[in-house]
Amino acid sequence: MSEYSPDVVRKLEEKANQMRQDIVVMVGAAQSGHPGGSLSAADIVAALYFNVMRYDVKNPKWADRDRFVLSKGHASPVLYAALAEAGFFPRAEIITFRNINSHLQGHPDMKKLAGVEFTTGSLGQGLSGAGGMAIAGKLDKKDYRVFCMIGDGESEEGQIWEAAMSAAHYKLDNLTAITDWNGLQIDGPNAEIMNVNPLPDKWRAFGWNVIEIDGHDFTQILDALSPESRVEGKPTMIIAKTVKGKGVSFMENACDWHGKAPSEEQVKTALAELCA
Amino acid sequence: MSEQLHDLEMRAVYARTLIELANENPNIICMEADLSKASGTNPAFLTAHPDRFINAGVAEADMICIAGGMAVEGKIPFCASFTPFATRRVYDQVTISVAYANTNVKIVGTAPGITAGPNGGTHMCFQDMAIMRAMPNMIVLSPCDTYELRECIKWMAAHEGPVYVQLSRMKQPAVFDESYRFNPDKAVKVREGKDVTLVTTGYMTQFAVKAANELAAEGITVDLLHYPSVKPFDTATLIESAKKTGKVVTVENQSIIGGLGGAVCETLSENHPTPVKRLGIPDKFGEVATEDYLFGKHGFGVEHIKKACR
């Protein structure tokens, strides 16, 4: 395992914490949205946007940028929090989330917000789209990387496994996917609703380079996302064990917070915890 | 006499046109889902541009969304499969990753309607025109012969945005010639007449022409409007013709619900109410059958067209 300086890790912790605050504020303001799976993904998305990926906020369509596709599009608050923090749009606008005419649509819309790389929300489609971007990168002899986050519930979609096949078949080693493995979906635990396990074995069997990590440990996250963790000729799947609702005690591991907005009082409590 | 375009199968012209486009534009991509031999792109396109031939295997949903991702990167993917698998099987993928996202993806539905013949009801899709037409941002084309097909494919490559095209695979008699130019905003007046307006598209146009010619011998003149584009739909030409004839017949290789006949009725009822007789498949599924059998069973062959026009 690599050593990362305390400064690197501290910076990412601060970014992720700010993003978690923004997620809570956003969903609270909208009184609608999906906080649980946004909070579980926050550390990984923070690592992508504030350490791993190359991009230019002043030139969002820069041809050589790395791309991130949030296939589990209902976790849009985590993407919007990262894009705001990175400077793609003013943070003050996060409170327009899910409002009429807002560029912060319920699910990410690439035609409405710079920095969104693919329109997602109908589960199972984003990983195929990311595969298409990776194929295009190979055809164009570009060295950009394509990252794609999927959900564990989303992995019940058959199309995920179509994309698993095609990405391996086309040897898309420029594609790194991450499964936000928080174990819960809207109706209950994966294991009770539709068992997706054993996830790591499945992805290995489909021909992917599989890395299992703690999705809240920045050393493990950075190691897994680093270019050195890739294997030539294979796409990489990072199976990240996470906690749904991570960082807000009353939301952690609670299925109800998949798609529920906190009250004004609960927003205050959550922010107090995050700022403590 | 050198080879003429209408001597070729429609699918051969599709492949040839796509190769010509790809020769000039490095962004043209041929996508297939294990039906490349049926679409005519294998071996033609595969041999000409192997690096830009992407076979998604029997995974149409993946194919459509891979195409969406490639289009975001500036590619122009043409995705082909049998009509049921290119449309209804992937309706949500096309809706979200192509139409809603407004990506530059082209979808080619092969063996439309009754041309699926011996494959029977599972493969005989009668509603692709209706469901694709109901999708915002989607353009819906159905060329009738090789000349029109070639122009449609070229236009699709040049047009920025989602397009669906029906492709009957086999040889079709020529309705047009080398001089044909495609305009998505205009119906083509194939015959000029004053007694009845006959509206057709795609595969059925050849039969409508035959019916119109035979009716002329009876002294009935047909205003024959062929619509290579059902969306956008040229309302002006239809309304003008209906005002002249006062009687409209539609014929299509599709369900009479929601396709060409639907477009005609929507237009006339709002602009110039006119009696309309819709010919095509009633609210029924397909079955293993010959063309003549289905024409007879559902009443939309040449004789039925003539009868409806009288």
Average pLDDT value for residue range A207-234: 98
Q: Note the pLDDT tens digit of each residue in B223-273.
A: 999 999 999 999 999 999 999 999 999 999 999 999 999 999 999 999 999
Q: Which two tokens stand for residue B127?
A: 């509603």
Instruction: Tell me, yes or no, if A162 comes closer than 8 A to chain B by beta carbon.
Output: yes
Please return the burial class of B92, using the count of CB atoms within 10 Å of its CB with bins 0-12, 13-18 and 19+. middle
Instruction: Tell me, yes or no, if A61 comes closer than 8 A to chain B by beta carbon.
Output: no
Alpha helices in chain A (DSSP H): 6-30, 36-47, 76-86, 126-139, 158-169, 190-193, 199-205, 218-225, 264-275
What are the structural domains, with CATH classification, of chain A?
A: 6-275 (3.40.50.970)
CA distance A70 to chain B (A): 13
pLDDT at B3 over 90: no
Which of A133, A145, A165, A169 to substitute to test the interface with B, most B CBs within 10 Å? A133
Instruction: Tell me, yes or no, if A105 comes closer than 8 A to chain B by beta carbon.
Output: no
Q: What are phi and psi of B28, to 5 degrees?
A: -70, 130
A48: nearest Cα among A4, A83, A18: A83
Q: Note the pLDDT tens digit of each residue in A122-146.
A: 999 999 999 999 999 999 999 999 9
- What's the pLDDT at B248? 98
Q: Note the pLDDT tens digit of each residue in A232-266.
A: 999 999 999 999 999 999 999 999 999 999 999 99
**Spacing of C-alpha A13 from chain mean position:** 16
Q: What percent of chain B has pLDDT over 90?
A: 99
Q: Which two tokens stand for residue B256?
A: 């009479």
Distance between CA A16 and CA A38 in Å, rounded? 11
Class of B188-309 in CATH: alpha beta
- Residue B281 carries which side chain, given as an amino acid letter? I
ipTM score assigned to the predicted complex: 0.97
Q: Which residues contact residue B95 at a Cβ distance below 8 angstroms, ignoring those fewer than 6 apart?
A: A122, B135
Instruction: Tell me, yes or no, if B51 comes closer than 8 A to chain A by beta carbon.
Output: yes
| A131–B71 CB contact, under 8 Å | no
pLDDT at B194 over 90: yes
- In A, minimum Cα distance to B75 occurs at A136
Which of A122, A135, A140 shows the shortest C-beta gap to B92?
A: A122
- Indicate the pLDDT class of residue A205, thresholds 50, 70 and 90: very high
Under 8 Å CB pairs connecting chains A and B tally to 103
Query: Is the preceding peptide bond at B232 cis, omega within 30 degrees of 0?
Result: yes
Instruction: Tell me, yes or no, if A185 comes closer than 8 A to chain B by beta carbon.
Output: no
**Phi-psi bin for B211: left (phi > 0), alpha (psi -120 to 50), beta?**
alpha
Instruction: Tell me, yes or no, if B59 comes closer than 8 A to chain A by beta carbon.
Output: yes
pLDDT at B1 over 80: no
Spell out the SS3 assignment of chain B: CCCCHHHCCHHHHHHHHHHHHHHHCCCEEEEECCCHHHHCCCCHHHHHCHHHEEECCCCHHHHHHHHHHHHHCCCEEEEEEEHHHHCCCCHHHHHHHHHHCCCCCEEEEECCHHHHHHHCCCCCCCCHHHHHHCCCCCEEECCCCHHHHHHHHHHHHHCCCCEEEEECCCCCCCCCCCCCCCCCCCCEEEECCCCEEEEECHHHHHHHHHHHHHHHHCCCCEEEEECCEEECCCHHHHHHHHHHHCCEEEEEEEECCCCHHHHHHHHHHHHCCCCEEEEEECCCCCCCCCHHHHHHHHCCCHHHHHHHHC
Q: Which two tokens stand for residue B83?
A: 């009509």
Q: Which two tokens stand for residue B218?
A: 């009876």
| A128–B97 CB contact, under 8 Å | yes
pLDDT at B180 over 70: yes
Q: What percent of chain A has pLDDT over 70?
A: 100
Instruction: Tell me, yes or no, if B68 comes closer than 8 A to chain A by beta carbon.
Output: yes
| B chain contacts of residue A61, beta-carbon cutoff 8 Å | none
Average pLDDT value for residue range B159-165: 98
| B69–A121 CB contact, under 8 Å | no
The sign of the CA dihedral A79, A81, A82, A86 is positive
Distance between CA A172 and CA A174 in Å, rounded? 5
- B188-309 shares the fold of B5-167: yes
Average pLDDT value for residue range B129-156: 98
| B66–A131 CB contact, under 8 Å | yes
Instruction: Tell me, yes or no, if A163 comes closer than 8 A to chain B by beta carbon.
Output: yes
Q: Note the pLDDT tens digit of each residue in A16-68.
A: 999 999 999 999 999 999 999 999 999 999 999 999 999 999 999 999 999 99
Distance between CA B111 and CA B118 in Å, rounded? 11
Average pLDDT value for residue range B286-310: 97
Q: What are phi and psi of B280, to 5 degrees?
A: 155, -150
Domain ranges within chain B, ordered by starting residue: 5-167, 188-309
Instruction: Tell me, yes or no, if A138 comes closer than 8 A to chain B by beta carbon.
Output: no
From residue A162, alpha-carbon distances to A127, A165, A168, B85, B253 in Å are: 9, 5, 10, 15, 32
Instruction: Tell me, yes or no, if A60 comes closer than 8 A to chain B by beta carbon.
Output: no
b/e per residue, A141-180, with b = 16+ CB within 10 A? ebebbbbbbbbbbbbbbebbbbbbbbbbebebbbbbbbbb
CA distance A219 to chain B (A): 31
pLDDT at B81 over 80: yes
Q: Which CATH superfamily is domain B5-167 in?
A: Thiamin diphosphate (ThDP)-binding fold, Pyr/PP domains (3.40.50.970)
Distance between CA A204 and CA A206 in Å, rounded? 5
- In B, minimum Cα distance to A170 occurs at B54
Average pLDDT value for residue range B131-135: 98
Query: Is the preceding peptide bond at B43 cis, omega within 30 degrees of 0?
Result: yes
CA distance B135 to chain A (A): 16
| B101–A118 CB contact, under 8 Å | yes
CA distance A43 to chain B (A): 26
| A chain contacts of residue B136, beta-carbon cutoff 8 Å | none
A134: nearest Cα among B97, B70, B96, B62: B70
Instruction: Tell me, yes or no, if A152 comes closer than 8 A to chain B by beta carbon.
Output: no
Which of A111, A132, A165 shows the shortest C-beta gap to B69?
A: A132
Instruction: Tell me, yes or no, if A207 comes closer than 8 A to chain B by beta carbon.
Output: no
Q: Which two tokens stand for residue B308?
A: 């409806």
Q: Which residue has the higher pLDDT, A30 or B1?
A: A30
CA distance A105 to chain B (A): 13
Which of B51, B59, B65 shows the shortest C-beta gap to A125?
A: B65
A98: nearest Cα among A211, A266, A210, A261: A261
